[in-house]
């Protein structure tokens, strides 16, 4: 006997429908299904009344996503297409379940089977197609991360994997072929949980559906706007109840996305409870509401960008727009006619496969190319994704969704076979360390001695900071990851002289007071604790100030104007007015920080900008080597460096002079030395960088010699 939650049963129809009463107070299954059939629901429950405008809305959702990922101007908010998909999914799934519940034909088994037929075949085809390209083109560290995402896809948890990978030093999203599957994982998790929730509410009372869904909608939206983005390791109070904290948690995981799917579910319940005519009784209202809905979606696509907090109340703009279109874009409306155009509906029908194909195509184009592909290339790939999507829709999606052509056991067996292949690929990436024999990246890393101490700062308390070298530290280094890239080389050099350095860096944060970084909450306030600590640390004589200045002043990633374009989102800093008490500039904050250290009797060694490269140097060299194109060292334009850092250099020069203030200029070490007008990224075929901007041990040793020379000269 099947458990209660998987039985087909009869339930009261929606209010307003006359029914023949029976001893149990329910309509007979035959009568109910006849009524359902008249409303467009087959007895099997497989088909609702077809609505062409919803397929058109799918096209409206997928097109901005594809063009956004292509970097096309005017689609900076194209990512909202995913949110539109969520609303559509919530509406259709809820409508399907409710109609089947009324007919008494709903079972979890059939529901999950349909979801598997809909989602898995095309998904596995695309992922399997990615494997040979990944093996041929991805570097060891890239393919290890890719292997983890491949395995996560098979178990519907890729959103958790990408959330776990979303750290400061994580691979850029533009180089993750399966990053877009996070949204599929969210939907799959919703499909697992939502039917159980709906059944529980229905058994209590079908009248509880609407208030229950509204309550869940409100709770999830509140989570998205506030606690949904806080670091789980912090208290809610410490996180500040703000979207500016850690958006990865809210962005990738279901709790802060649940409300978007529930919005569609609420529309489905209202439609069932009150009937379509109640919603669209007024034709002018339907015209206006559907047009407003489409306009809201278009506005979000054009006006939103990477700095728009997501998910948050801003997400209501495209999701409410989608909801208005679903509810009001009926046959007589202009929006219905637009969305029902043959080409629009056609794109909507294959939208799932378009979504699956476009991102891997873009990513592998970036990985294969030595330079950032042009926009024309991305547009061509967008067209290719549509072609592949149609083939996938015709040869994979349609056959697998047809029960008459494909038995359930075939779906299960093929899915299990695909999952086994993906698991084997993941195991291979771990056993072989990312198939490291394919790319000779290690041959470009110089064997330069650095401090080998194993230490990790466990808290944000400077009193627990790591030190490198020998004895009590007399030198401290503050700043971001550029400071971290120097610390072990500095520790080794100081250790040779019986001294040590205290590592007080905080990744992603400028070495100043009263400035915060967008989407990291109050993490950069740890710099306040660093300055407070240094005020009391009498043993610290020298303080090295090092950071990636350019990204903080220019709010952009580096483009070397020669094809080397650094991927990733811009770094956005803003004044911590709550602490500063006023709006301040970053230049002011830098000057204040340096003079504060000088006032405490410290000798300050101010490190000017380290030249950025744009290319991931060892990986770029490996690609060139594999293609027989590596004939000389890598370098970039000195003129581009000076232009990009003009404001930075002016701000650092503006700090002024002081007898205990010393300046180190990395550009004098890397630029105009080997080649006039060029900044070297490698020397004698050994990389000076570990990626696009962080120094390798070889590059760090060059800068460290200057720092140690100053510190040694200052000692009595």
Per-residue confidence (pLDDT) for residue 141, from 0 to 100: 84
176 lies in the same domain as 231: yes
Same domain, 424 and 476: no
- Retrieve residue 316's tokens: 């209501």
Question: Are residues 592 and 550 located together in one domain of the fold?
Answer: yes
Q: pLDDT class for 180, splitting at 50, 70, 90?
A: very high
Of the listed ranges 136-145, 270-279, 299-308, 554-563, the one predicted with least confidence: 270-279
pLDDT above 70 for 628: yes
| Cα gap 501→543, rounded to integer Å | 9
| Dist. CA 85–CA 355, nearest whole Å | 11
Q: Which of 408, 428, 448 is where one domain is finished?
A: 428
Residue 627: inside a domain, yes or no?
Answer: no
Residue with the bigger pLDDT between 478 and 243: it is 478
The one-character DSSP state at 671 is: B
Confidence band for 39, pLDDT divided at 50, 70 and 90: very low
Please compute the mean of the pLDDT values over residues 663-692 and round it to a whole number.
Answer: 96
The predicted-structure confidence for 423-462, as pLDDT tens digits, reads as follows: 999 999 999 989 988 877 778 888 899 998 888 776 678 8
Low-confidence winner among 121-130, 187-196, 221-230, 351-360 (lowest mean pLDDT): 221-230
Flag whether the pTM goes above 0.85: no
CATH label of the domain that carries residue 597 = 3.40.50.2300
Q: Which candidate, 581, 704, 601, 589, places its Cα nearest to that of 652?
A: 589
- Check whether residue 417 and residue 477 sit in a common domain: no
Q: How many domains does the chain have?
A: 2
Tens of pLDDT, residue by residue over 105-126, are: 889 999 999 999 999 999 999 9
Comparing 165-174, 468-477, 482-491, 521-530, the range with the smallest average pLDDT is 165-174
User: 573 and 476, same structural domain?
Assistant: yes
Closest by Cα among 663, 711, 664, 689 to 496: 711
- Give the rounded percent of residues in the chain with a pLDDT score beyond 70: 87
Co-location of 400 and 527 in the same domain: no
Read off the pLDDT of each residue in 5-22 and give the average, rounded to a whole number.
Answer: 39
Q: Where is the domain boundary, 428, 444, 468?
A: 428
Find which of 11-20, 38-47, 56-65, 237-246 is predicted with most confidence, using mean pLDDT. Answer: 56-65
Helix (H) or strand (E) holding 551: helix 549-554
Tokens 């007008």: give the residue: 677
> Is 73 within a domain?
yes
pLDDT of residue 438: 82
Q: How crowded is the C-beta side of 308, counted as CA atoms within 13 Å?
A: 20
Domain annotation covers residue 239: yes
In the predicted model, what is the mean pLDDT of residues 161-168?
A: 76
Q: Which two tokens stand for residue 699?
A: 């590059």
pLDDT > 90: what percent of the chain?
64
Domain assignment present for 441: no
* Choice between 233 and 208, residue whose per-residue pLDDT is larger: 208
- Residue-wise burial string across 181-210, b where 16 or more C-beta atoms lie within 10 A, e elsewhere: bbbbbbbbbbbeebbebbbebbeeebeebb
Could you list the residue range(s) of the whole structural domain that residue 550 is in?
Answer: 456-610+645-666+698-714
Co-location of 424 and 462 in the same domain: no
pLDDT greater than 50 at residue 555: yes
* Mean pLDDT value of segment 69-79: 92
412-432 burial code (b ≥16 CB/10 A, e <16): eeebeebbebbeebbeebeee
Domain check: are 309 and 226 in the same one?
Answer: yes
Has residue 682 been placed in a domain? no
Closest by alpha carbon to 92, among 213, 220, 207, 263?
A: 263
DSSP code for 175 = G
Check pLDDT > 90 for residue 236.
Answer: no
Instruction: Label residue 171 by pLDDT band (50, 70, 90).
Output: low
330 vs 337: CA distance, rounded Å: 9
Query: Residue 13 pLDDT > 50, yes or no?
Result: no
Would you place residue 495 in the very low, low, confident or very high pLDDT band (cuts 50, 70, 90)?
A: very high
CB count within 10 Å of CB 405 equals 10
350 & 222 share domain: yes
Q: Which residues pair with 505 in a beta bridge?
A: 479
Same domain, 158 and 297: yes
3-class state of residue 565 by DSSP: strand
pLDDT of 48 > 70? The answer is: no
- For the chain, what is the mean pLDDT? 86
Per the CB < 8 A criterion, the answer to whether 327 and 289 are in contact is yes
Section 154-167 average pLDDT? 86
Residue 2 scores a pLDDT above 60: no
Domain assignment present for 657: yes
What whole-number distance in Å separates Cα of residue 165 and Cα of residue 185? 16
pLDDT of residue 158: 93
Whether the CB-CB separation of 531 and 596 falls below 8 Å is answered with yes
Instruction: Please check the confidence at residue 328 and state whether its pLDDT lies above 70.
Output: yes
C-alpha to C-alpha distance for 154 and 255, rounded to whole angstroms: 21
Assess if residue 437 is contained within a domain.
no
Integer Cα distance of 516 and 524 in angstroms? 6
Task: Answer yes or no: is 152 within a domain.
Answer: yes
Residues 164 and 49 in one domain: yes
Say how far apart CA 441 and CA 630 lie, in whole Å. 13
Distance CA 151, CA 423 (A): 6
**Of 276-280, 475-479, 633-637, which gets the smallest average pLDDT?**
276-280
Lowest mean pLDDT among 338-342, 347-351, 429-433, 437-441: 437-441
In this structure, the strands spanning 603-607 and 542-546 are parallel
Q: Are residues 495 and 380 in the same domain?
A: no
Can you spell out the DSSP letters for 570-612? PP-EEE-HHHHSS---HHHHHHHHHHHHHHTTPEEEEE-PPPP
């Amino acid at each position: 006997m099947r458990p209660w939650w998987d039985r087909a049963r009869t339930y009261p129809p929606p209010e307003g429908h006359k029914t023949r009463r029976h001893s149990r107070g329910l309509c007979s299954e035959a009568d109910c299904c006849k009524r359902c059939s008249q409303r467009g629901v087959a007895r099997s429950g497989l088909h609702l009344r077809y609505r062409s405008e919803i397929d058109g809305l799918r096209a409206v959702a997928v097109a901005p996503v594809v063009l956004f990922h292509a970097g096309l101007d005017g689609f900076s908010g194209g990512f909202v297409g995913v949110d539109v998909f969520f609303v559509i999914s919530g509406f259709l799934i809820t409508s399907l379940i409710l109609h089947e519940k009324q007919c008494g034909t709903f079972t979890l088994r059939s529901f999950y089977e349909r979801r598997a037929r809909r989602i898995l075949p095309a998904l596995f085809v695309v992922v399997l197609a990615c494997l040979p390209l990944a093996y041929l083109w991805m570097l060891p560290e890239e393919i290890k991360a890719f292997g983890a995402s491949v395995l996560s896809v098979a178990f519907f948890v890729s959103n958790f994997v990408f959330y776990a990978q979303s750290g400061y030093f994580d691979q850029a999203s533009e180089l993750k072929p399966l990053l877009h599957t996070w949204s599929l994982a969210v939907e799959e998790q919703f499909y697992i949980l939502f039917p159980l929730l709906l059944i529980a509410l229905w058994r209590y009372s079908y009248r509880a559906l609407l208030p229950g869904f509204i309550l869940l909608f409100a709770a999830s939206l509140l989570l998205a706007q506030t606690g949904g983005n806080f670091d789980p390791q912090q208290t809610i109070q410490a996180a500040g109840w703000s979207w500016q904290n850690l958006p990865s948690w809210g962005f990738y995981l279901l709790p802060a996305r649940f409300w978007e799917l529930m919005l569609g579910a609420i529309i489905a319940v209202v439609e069932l409870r009150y009937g379509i005519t109640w919603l669209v009784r007024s034709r002018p209202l339907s015209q206006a509401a559907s047009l407003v809905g489409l306009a809201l979606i278009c506005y979000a696509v054009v006006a939103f960008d990477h700095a728009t907090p997501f998910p948050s109340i801003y997400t209501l703009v495209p999701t409410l727009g989608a909801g208005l279109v679903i509810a009001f874009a009926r046959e007589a409306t202009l929006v219905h006619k637009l969305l029902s155009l043959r080409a629009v509906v056609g794109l909507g029908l294959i939208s799932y496969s378009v979504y699956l194909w476009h991102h891997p195509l873009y990513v592998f184009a970036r990985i294969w190319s030595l330079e950032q592909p042009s926009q024309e290339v991305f547009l061509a790939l967008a067209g290719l994704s549509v072609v592949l999507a149609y083939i996938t829709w015709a040869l994979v999606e349609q056959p697998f969704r047809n029960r008459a052509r494909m038995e359930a056991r075939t779906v299960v067996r093929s899915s299990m076979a695909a999952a086994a292949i993906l698991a084997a690929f993941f195991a291979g990436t771990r056993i072989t360390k990312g198939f490291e024999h394919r790319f000779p990246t290690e041959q470009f890393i110089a064997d330069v001695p650095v401090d080998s101490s194993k230490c990790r700062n466990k808290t944000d308390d400077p009193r627990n900071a790591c030190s490198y070298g020998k004895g009590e530290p007399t030198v401290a280094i503050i700043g971001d990851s550029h400071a971290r890239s120097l610390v072990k080389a500095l520790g080794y050099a100081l250790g040779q002289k019986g001294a040590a350095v205290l590592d007080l860096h905080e990744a992603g944060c400028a070495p100043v007071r009263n400035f915060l970084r967008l989407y990291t909450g109050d993490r950069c306030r740890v710099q306040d604790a660093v300055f407070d600590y240094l005020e009391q640390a009498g043993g610290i004589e020298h303080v090295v100030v090092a950071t990636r200045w350019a990204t903080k002043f220019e709010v952009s990633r580096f483009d070397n104007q020669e094809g080397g374009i650094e991927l990733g989102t811009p770094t956005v800093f803003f004044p911590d007015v709550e602490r500063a008490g006023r709006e301040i500039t970053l230049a002011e904050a830098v000057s204040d920080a340096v003079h504060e250290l000088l006032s405490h009797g410290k000798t300050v060694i101010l490190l000017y900008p380290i030249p950025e490269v744009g290319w991931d140097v060892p990986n770029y060299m490996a690609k060139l080597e594999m293609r027989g194109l590596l004939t000389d060292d890598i370098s970039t334009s000195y003129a581009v460096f000076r232009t990009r850092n003009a404001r930075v250099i002016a701000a650092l020069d503006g700090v002024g002079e002081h007898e205990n203030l010393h300046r180190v200029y990395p550009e004098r070490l890397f630029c105009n030395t080997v080649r006039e007008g060029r900044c070297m990224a490698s020397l004698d075929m050994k990389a000076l960088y570990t990626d696009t901007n962080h120094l390798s041990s070889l590059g760090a040793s060059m800068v460290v010699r200057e720092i140690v020379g100053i510190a040694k000269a200052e000692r009595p």
